[in-house]
């Protein structure tokens, strides 16, 4: 959402990783941004301009003197830009920009922008580590530009080390973070997500349908808004949100240990996880065998720890505690009871059972209910949008 209708300049310089800029451009366009690509002459030797013109639906700016109106256009573009990215950025372009030199369309435009700028260096690892390149990167960073560290790995020149352009999805994620307001800066947030699994024997377990999508969306949103985020996660098939410390757990008991041991270090606790309420009393150490095809198996279960309730008992006045409630009936009544019983500041109540809300869906419909009885209905929307609204309310209540 943050990139919707934003004007983005995508600078491409002459490196083998220039092909990755194609996918980055696609992601920016998909997010609703208006993109103008600016290429250096060497960049054009790696990927042709037609690809960028077609995907960006815009002419590529590359020659200050021969492009129609370009001598004015680069200043116009610079003025209009909401963000500028150079990916890949060569040592040559980095050096020019750090020293205020402008001898082509890219450097001239970039010296005229006032928007946030992200520089993504990509080159041979010895070049990257060269003291002059590092000095130039330091200058740009001190001057307020964002430098995205390159990945390490085998490089095009067959050496191994730092210098690879990060994957386009990662650069895209960091562009979103760069443009997001940092209203959670200084806040430490502990989030739980996903299901817990409770062993019956070494191969079977009791669990639920939580995919982790809602909790991961909250973690991603908080991180982008500047918080230091720790995510305690049950088993899910999701990539870790960028910049978040993820701790994997399986059972409720393991989740309890990880959450409770971190309580003293955090300002906000958000418990999105769908914790199994019961666990088998006596999990077997070897696989339970079936018998003659007609046998019955009775599982004796015992209530798990209520982690949220324990946190509610321990939380200090300055900590903000949020629970989630998955309900099939009496949504409001049950959610309000949970606020009192578990000493919460806020609960996000969602009706589960529909295809487009609750477990596994990409969207959710929740009602936020606060300790003072006030509430806010969030209509059906994407889980990352729900996450942002949830955080808006937390910030407002904490002020
Ligand atoms: O993961 P997704 O597929 O995206 O689905 C999202 C979700 C439906 C799991 C999420 O939106 C949600 O509703 N999470 C809470 C699910 C739940 O366990 O609800 P509950 O009403 O059983 O529990 C209420 C609260 O107590 C929750 O914050 C839960 O984390 C906590 N709890 C519950 C039981 C327990 N033993 N310990 C707990 O801490």
Question: Which of 115, 120, 157, 252 is an active site residue?
Answer: 157
pLDDT of residue 67: 53
Distance 326 CA to ligand 1 centre (A): 6
For residue 399, the 8-state DSSP code is: -
Q: Is 145 left (phi over 0), alpha (psi -120 to 50) or beta?
A: beta
pLDDT of residue 151: 95
Element (H, E) at 352: none
Element (H, E) at 341: helix 331-341
pTM: 0.94
List, for residues 238-263, the tens digit of each pLDDT value. 999 999 999 999 999 999 999 999 99
Q: Phi/psi of residue 375, each to 5°? A: -150, 165
Distance 362 CA to ligand 1 centre (A): 16
Rg of the Cα trace of the chain? 25
pLDDT of residue 295: 84
Q: Which tokens in the block code for residue 216?
A: 């991961």
Which residue ranges make up each domain of the chain?
Answer: 7-179, 188-398
Architecture of domain 188-398: 3-Layer(aba) Sandwich (3.40)
Distance 399 CA to ligand 1 centre (A): 26
User: Ligand 1 pocket: which residues have CB below 6 Å?
Assistant: 210-215, 252, 271-275, 277, 304-308, 323-326, 338, 350, 352, 358-360
Which residue, by CA, sits nearest to atom 24 of ligand 1? 325
Fold identical between 7-179 and 188-398? yes
Which residue, by CA, sits nearest to atom 27 of ligand 1? 324
**Ligand 1: nearest atom to the Cα of 213:** 4
Distance 277 CA to ligand 1 centre (A): 10
Regions of the chain with pLDDT less than 70: 66-72
Distance 275 CA to ligand 1 centre (A): 6
Which residue, by CA, sits nearest to atom 31 of ligand 1? 308
Q: Which residue matches tokens 């307001």?
A: 181
How many alpha carbons fall within 13 Å on the CB side of residue 201?
10
Distance 299 CA to ligand 1 centre (A): 23
The dihedral over CA atoms of 131, 145, 55, 23, expressed in degrees to the nearest 10, equals 60
How many alpha carbons fall within 13 Å on the CB side of residue 67?
16
| Contact in structure between 289 and 236 (CB atoms under 8 Å) | no
C-alpha to C-alpha distances, 263 to 41, 307, 321, 324, 364, nearest whole angstrom: 54, 12, 11, 18, 28
Which residue, by CA, sits nearest to atom 17 of ligand 1? 274
Question: Measuring CA to CA, which residue among 176, 274, 254, 186 is closest to residue 226?
Answer: 186
Active site includes 157? yes
C-alpha to C-alpha distances, 336 to 72, 304, 320, 378, nearest whole angstrom: 61, 22, 17, 17
pLDDT of residue 362: 96
Q: How is 26-45 classified by DSSP, letter by letter?
A: HHHHHTT-EEEEEE-TTHHH
**Ligand 1: nearest atom to the Cα of 308:** 39
pLDDT of residue 157: 78
Q: Which residue matches tokens 């590529």?
A: 60
For residue 147, the 8-state DSSP code is: E
3-state SS string over 193-260? Answer: ECECCEEEECCEEECCCCCCHHHHHHHHHHHHCCCEEEEEECCCCCCCCCCCEEEECCCHHHHHHHHH
**Ligand 1: nearest atom to the Cα of 252:** 36
Domain spanning 7-179: CATH 3.40.50.1370: no
pLDDT of residue 399: 76
**Site to substitute for ligand 1 among 272, 303, 304, 369, most atoms within 8 A of C-beta:** 272
C-alpha to C-alpha distances, 383 to 3, 245, 284, 365, nearest whole angstrom: 17, 20, 38, 9
């Amino acid at each position: 959402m943050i990139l919707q209708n934003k004007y983005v300049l995508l600078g491409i310089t002459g490196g083998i990783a220039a092909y990755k800029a194609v996918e980055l451009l696609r992601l920016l366009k998909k997010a609703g941004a208006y993109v103008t690509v600016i290429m250096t002459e060497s960049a054009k030797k790696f990927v042709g301009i037609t690809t960028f013109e077609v995907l960006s639906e815009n002419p590529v700016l590359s020659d200050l003197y021969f492009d129609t109106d370009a001598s004015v256009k680069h200043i116009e573009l610079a003025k209009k830009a909401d963000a500028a990215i150079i990916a890949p950025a060569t040592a040559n372009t980095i050096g020019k920009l750090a020293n205020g030199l402008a001898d082509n369309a890219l450097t001239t435009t970039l010296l005229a922008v006032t928007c946030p700028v992200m520089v993504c260096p990509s080159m041979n690892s010895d070049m990257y580590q060269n003291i002059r390149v590092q000095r130039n990167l330091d200058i740009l960073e001190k001057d307020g530009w964002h430098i995205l560290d390159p990945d390490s790995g085998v490089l095009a020149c067959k050496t191994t080390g730092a210098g690879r352009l990060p994957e386009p999805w990662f650069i895209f994620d960091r562009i979103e973070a760069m443009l997001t307001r940092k209203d959670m800066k200084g806040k430490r947030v502990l989030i739980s997500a996903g299901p817990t699994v409770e062993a019956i024997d070494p191969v079977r377990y009791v669990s639920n349908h939580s995919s982790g999508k809602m909790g991961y969306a909250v973690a991603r949103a908080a991180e982008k808004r500047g918080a230091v985020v720790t995510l305690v996660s049950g088993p899910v098939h999701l990539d870790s949100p960028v910049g978040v410390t993820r701790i994997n757990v399986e059972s409720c008991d393991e989740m309890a240990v990880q959450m409770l041991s971190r309580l003293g270090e955090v300002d906000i606790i958000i418990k999105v996880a769908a914790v199994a309420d019961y666990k088998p009393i006596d999990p077997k150490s070897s696989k339970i065998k079936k018998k003659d095809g007609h046998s019955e198996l009775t599982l004796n279960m015992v209530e798990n720890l209520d982690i949220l309730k324990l946190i509610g008992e321990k939380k200090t006045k300055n900590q903000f505690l949020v629970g989630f409630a998955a309900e099939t009936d009496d949504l409001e009544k049950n959610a309000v009871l949970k606020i009192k019983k578990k000493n919460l500041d806020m609960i996000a109540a969602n009706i589960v059972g529909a295809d487009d809300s609750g477990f596994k869906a990409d969207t959710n419909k929740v009602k936020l209910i606060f300790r003072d009885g006030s509430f806010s209905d969030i209509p059906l929307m994407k889980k990352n949008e729900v996450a942002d609204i949830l955080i808006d309310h937390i910030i407002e209540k904490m002020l």
